[in-house]
Chains A and B, each alone.
Chain A
Amino acid sequence: MTTTLAGGRAARRQTMRRIRPRRSPATVLLLVVWAGAAAVLGLWWNNTPSIADDTSRILNAGRITGLLAGYLMALVVLQMARVPALERRVGSDRVARWHAMSGRYTVSLVVAHVFLTMWGYALQGGRTVSDVVRQTVDSVNQLPDMGKAAIGTGLLFLIALISVGGIRRRLPYDAWYHVHLLTYAAVFLTFWHQISTGNDFAVEPVAKTFWYGLYGVVTALVLWYRILTPIRLNLRHRMRVEAVIEETPGIVSVLIGGRKLHRMGAQAGQFFRWRFLAPGMRFSSHPYSLSAAPRPGMLRITVKAIGDHSARLRELTPGTRVWAEGPYGALTAQRRSRGKVLLVAGGVGITPMRALFETLPGAAGDITLLYRANTTQDLALWDELAAIAEDRGARLMYAVNSPDGERPDISADRLRQKLPDIEQHDVFMCGPAGFAQSVYEALRGAGVPARRIHHESFEM
């Protein structure tokens, strides 16, 4: 815990170091991604001396969309490889949104690629656009690796279908997740036809090497960070449930013991993906934030019962083995750029805020926590928060509905009235999307620059 650094020069230095914000590498990464896309288009450009007629226009449009889809496919998988730079610096929530966005775009490119290429081949063979289906059957039968590619493409379309908003909401999360894992099979199956039928890889050995390199690196990262790293983590720390505590009606804390847990490098504000090896819970893993800074022998998560999984947590018995992956998340002290910090929590969004409230370095009066809940009974962990506030001279405020159910006023004016120097604060925020959106607008209205509002949201 950081309290060991209390007082003295070391603590001040630590504080100053913490306050220098680490920039998110998002901009650099996006530039690299765009440069890669430009290189892929350049490859096509180089290998295409001329385009004589409409048939070759169509075929070349098919090639361009195919090349881009092949390139993006690798990146879509990479985004879910749990690479620490993405998970902890860019932020898991943002990367997940990128993944969803680029996934949809890639599937659209695949649709365009298949249609355009088959249309072009049909025209080349003296057929018309109405023979696209027949041409597709012929090509799948006769060209190398096209059978695999057809199966892979079918899988991709299935995965895209179940990820459509309305369908996904109707499916249980675990079913959706496990079908979604078939993406790996789809990518593997569609990879080979790119190499064996792709014009550009036939004539450019450099391009072929680059393509193998791209997919090879992504495969290695997936194996390393999604499989080997968690295995090592769990063998080393051997976590088990120590106790389950009901905080308020519907909110439970799970205490998790293990070996050398402070060595996992978890910071306040981060989360793990938890899998409890109890009957009925073995096959699903869920992200829950740490609700206290990690201690050498103990981690704590606090969870609101909203779904199947979270409701079952209260039935966990001490001694249950726990499989965790992480730590992930970028909502940590490293995002801070100012001495003063306002933490805003909505409901069970208190969990990461509670951990930050305790550990963010700061003098008395620097740290403020605003806690929004429906009623005072719903203010989970309140006693702890009050004790921390007392201990370090931080401010603690809550906003609950009035007895007649009216929502509290969280407006720009009201925020400025409570915190006159609010524009001098960094704001960390965690809560449901609607709440976060309205607070964000209030904060902006009160003069807090957007770059100092740090927020994590797992809604797509």
Chain B
Amino acid sequence: MRKSHPVRRVVLATAATVSAVVLLLSLKPSSDPGGAEAAGAVPQQTSAAQESPQGGAAAAGQTTVTGDAAQTQYGAVQVRLTVSGGKITKAEAVQAPSGGTSTQKTELAVPRLNQAAVARSSADIDSVSGATYTSTGYKQSLQSALDKVKAAQAAGASQEAGAGTSPGAGTSPGAGASPGAGAAQVRTLTGAAAQTQYGPVQVRITVSGGKITKAEAVQAPSGGTSTQKTELAVPKLNQAAVARSSADIDSVSGATYTSTGYKQSLQSALDQAGG
């Protein structure tokens, strides 16, 4: 029974806790190291496509499909799916309500809904309590994306024989070697990540018939006001990229760094399309 020193104990416990928390926080990088990971994922997809036996059609390649935006009371929800072998391998929300508590609810609900969508591979998933509107919108958009997958598969199957040599089909550069992949003529290209002061920006575009039919940011600065700026700028930049079908788009005022990064990454994606 050593003598106890309550004051000393309190001081020690407080100091230890505070310094541990501060240490942990300061060890975290201020920008997302996932940039390298995301870039690394692309070749993986490629090799998967190459390994797949010829004529593997829609099932073999990975298809990325974006559902229709579903309007909710708090804003639009739009879901993008990556489908492989008839299963959802990845689900993400391209759009979701933001601002005030909506941001919190989105942060809360979307990861869960994404997870559920992958786990179930269907739109029959549970709503997240406390985020009912978002959940409902999510499920609608998810269902529409799944419908599109089905339609594409049906089309792919019927085209398989003829479209076998269609070049450039696939999900990423290099996948063109895999003939007969799902959505013919539509290519999805991911630009190199552009570093900005607030984190990397990386753009993925869907090109069809030489035009950008869709643009989206795979990576963008997040955390605090960065989240808000990203939410503000990225939809506008996406829209502009589709409208112009080039990287020559206007910056969004108030989000200059993000805009610049976006344009760089967009240009790199377009370069891939050209090459």
CB 8 Å contact bits of B99-112 with A (1 = contact, 0 = none): 01101110110011
Tell me the bound Cα distance from A49 to B229 in angstroms.
Answer: 19
Contacts of B30 in A (CB 8 A): 50-53
B155 within 8 A of partner (CB): no
CB 8 Å contact bits of A135-160 with B (1 = contact, 0 = none): 00011001111000000000000000
Contacts of A199 in B (CB 8 A): 107-108, 111
Tell me the bound Cα distance from A453 to B107 in angstroms.
Answer: 56
Check B131 against A144 for contact (C-beta < 8 Å): yes
A455 within 8 A of partner (CB): yes
Interface size on A, residues (CB 8 A): 44
Of A138, A196, A437, which one neighbours B3 at CB under 8 angstroms?
A437
Contacts of B158 in A (CB 8 A): none
B100 smallest CB distance to A (angstroms): 5
Check A144 against B129 for contact (C-beta < 8 Å): yes
Given A144-B130, A202-B111, A203-B111, A50 contacting B25 (CB threshold 8 A): no
Contacts of A142 in B (CB 8 A): 101, 104-105, 130
Check B29 against A50 for contact (C-beta < 8 Å): yes
Contacts of B130 in A (CB 8 A): 142-145, 196-197
B24 within 8 A of partner (CB): yes
Check B25 against A455 for contact (C-beta < 8 Å): no
Of B112, B222, B224, which one neighbours A123 at CB under 8 angstroms?
B224
Check B223 against A64 for contact (C-beta < 8 Å): no
Tell me the bound Cα distance from A108 to B228 in angstroms.
Answer: 32
Tell me the bound Cα distance from A44 to B25 in angstroms.
Answer: 11
B47 smallest CB distance to A (angstroms): 25
A271 within 8 A of partner (CB): no
Residue of B nearest to A138 (CB): B101
B72 smallest CB distance to A (angstroms): 15
Given A142-B105, A145-B130, A202-B108, A49 contacting B34 (CB threshold 8 A): yes
Given A50-B32, A143-B105, A61 contacting B131 (CB threshold 8 A): no
A234 within 8 A of partner (CB): no
Given A50-B30, A52-B198, A144-B129, A197 contacting B108 (CB threshold 8 A): yes
* Residues in A9-49 with C-beta less than 8 Å from chain B: 41, 44-45, 48-49
Tell me the bound Cα distance from A440 to B4 in angstroms.
Answer: 14
Check B223 against A56 for contact (C-beta < 8 Å): yes
Given A52-B224, A52-B226, A457-B1, A143 contacting B104 (CB threshold 8 A): yes
Contacts of A44 in B (CB 8 A): 24
Of A45, A57, A143, A145, which one neighbours B101 at CB under 8 angstroms?
A143
A-B contact pairs, 26 of them (CB 8 A): A45-B24, A49-B33, A50-B28, A50-B30, A50-B31, A52-B221, A52-B223, A55-B225, A56-B223, A64-B24, A65-B21, A101-B9, A109-B17, A121-B104, A124-B224, A124-B228, A143-B105, A196-B108, A196-B128, A196-B130, A197-B130, A436-B1, A437-B1, A437-B3, A450-B2, A455-B1
